[in-house]
Structure 1
């Protein structure tokens, strides 16, 4: 009989996510968006802005925006996370405040399909790539047909900018505390994918932006990948993550996990 080739897991697409932080009346707040219900991946889910990396994210052009010394190895991921946030939520992490007209012009240029670098130049905006800090690297479990290898970044939100969703991937935006988002998901009012829920759990104990930023390990450009594994236990199947990854719980019943 002919041999059947063994197929391994599909490759995970490189991706990046930006978690913007601010101090609200009741403590730490995060910018999240609601994904369009018609999307293939995570339809209707509440997520942080982000997405797949693009070829232009690797352009050496971006090196000139690093303020001091050689840029980090994750430079392209930083560009991708910042670009996706600007495209989906209309918020640009930049070094200097943007005039409302310049910000509106940037949003319009991106909506019209103009390249990110050209739109920034037109707006006179300098991206604050150095203010981003990698919190974690989540990789979609190996059994799924669509997989992502995503760096999650934290950054203080730019002042004076209000999110404006693109109406395509994002149909709504919201500033909210991690505890509120988790409570609303528990009440069935929000849909959270696993990595988002775990990130909210980790940030729920942070009182303010400073506390959240202190979770980042200095000098770590690529955190160790966290790949949830489906494991059979006496009490039923669970998704398990590695010890020492900084997130908890380490085991979550499979019926409570949404992966896409």
Structure 2
């Protein structure tokens, strides 16, 4: 059995994804959105809100917004995940419930190029930075021309807010159980990239939000000395059963090997 590698992989862009959770009649539900079919990366795929980090996400002024104590090492990733969630589906976990008008104005400001911090201050909204919990860190396989180093966060969905897609990146949004989304992909009615599918497989065993957040607590306990989870970098390997994408043992996700034929990377 051998491992396939790219001698000169493209450096991955730091990114963050936010998984909004709620308890529904059939158990744990997640907010997902469908990406526009004309996008270059993952066209038409069902994903969680998220995107790459921007320089402003690293502004030292964000540290003052942390409720108390030393901010976590993933603070910039938290900022990016929240910002992308507002931009793409109009939802934002906050310290106090915002009005729908404030959320709409915040989104308009971001669309017009206003900085996230400035827009938050102008509309008087404080994001709930400390209520997010990191579940995993996925890195795009090395053979791809577009790569991301992404932290996946879990957070309880804010009460009274409903998703409103931006129509650019996100064209549809829905609440669904992980099992439903996986079944729809198997039936050919939904497209899932590998990291999304693996996340759904892990959360499919969680009966409710409490169980899902417990998964994130395990990931946090296993974080590296830098305060970030160990990266999960799928490797393409040749096996007796054919090419497989393999992930590290002990990473918390199963299966460890998935046939390359059934893996969608972008």
Q: What's the TM-score once normalised by structure 2's chain length? A: 0.93
Supply the distance in 2 between the matched residues of 1:7 and 1:229 (Cα, whole angstroms): 13
Does residue 234 of structure 2 align to residue 234 of structure 1? Answer: no
Residues 196-230 of structure 1: CA distance to partner in whole angstroms, max 9, x if unpaired? Answer: 00000000010110000000224533110000010
Instruction: Note if 1:215 corresponds to 2:200.
Output: no
Are 1:184 and 2:190 an aligned pair?
A: no
Residue aligning to 1:115: 115
Which residue pairs with 2:104 in the alignment? 104
Distance in structure 2 (CA, Å) of the matches to 1:143 and 1:17: 22
Q: Which position in structure 1 is the counterpart of 2:65?
A: 65
Q: What's the counterpart of residue 50 of structure 1? A: 50
Calculate the aligned-residue CA RMSD, in Å: 1.2
DSSP 3-state at the match of 1:93: coil
SS of the aligned residue for 1:214 comes to: helix
* C-alpha deviation, 1:36, in angstroms: 0.7
Determine if contact 1:12/1:149 at 8 Å carries over to the other structure. Answer: yes
* Contact 1:111 1:166 (C-alpha < 8 Å) held by counterparts: no
Offset, 1:7: 5.1
Aligned equivalent of 1:138: 138
**Counterpart secondary structure, 2:167:** coil
Distance 1:247 1:7, change over 3 A: closer
Deviations along 1:95-135, one digit per CA (max 9) or x if unpaired, are: 11011221221122222222211211122110111011110
Q: Name 2:90's counterpart in structure 1.
A: 90
5+ long unaligned stretches in structure 2: 1-5
Change (3 A) 1:246 1:7: closer
CA deviation after TM superposition for structure 1 residue 26, in Å: 1.1
For residue 215 of structure 2, give the secondary structure of its aligned residue in structure 1: coil
Residue-by-residue CA offset, 1:15-61 (whole Å, 9 max, x unaligned) = 00010101111110101111111111100000000011000000011
User: For residues 89 and 100 of structure 1, what CA distance do their matches in structure 2 show?
Assistant: 13
What residue ranges of structure 1 are gaps of 5+ in the alignment? 1-5
Q: Distance in 1 between matches of 2:206 and 2:123?
A: 34
Counting matched residue pairs gives: 255
Instruction: Tell whether the 8 Å contact from 1:20 to 1:31 is kept in structure 2 after alignment.
Output: yes
Structure 1 Cα separation of the partners of residues 106 and 68 of structure 2: 26
**d(CA) in 2 for partners of 1:107 and 1:146?**
27
Q: TM-score, normalised to structure 1's length?
A: 0.95
- CA distance, structure 1, for counterparts of residue 122 and residue 209 of structure 2: 31
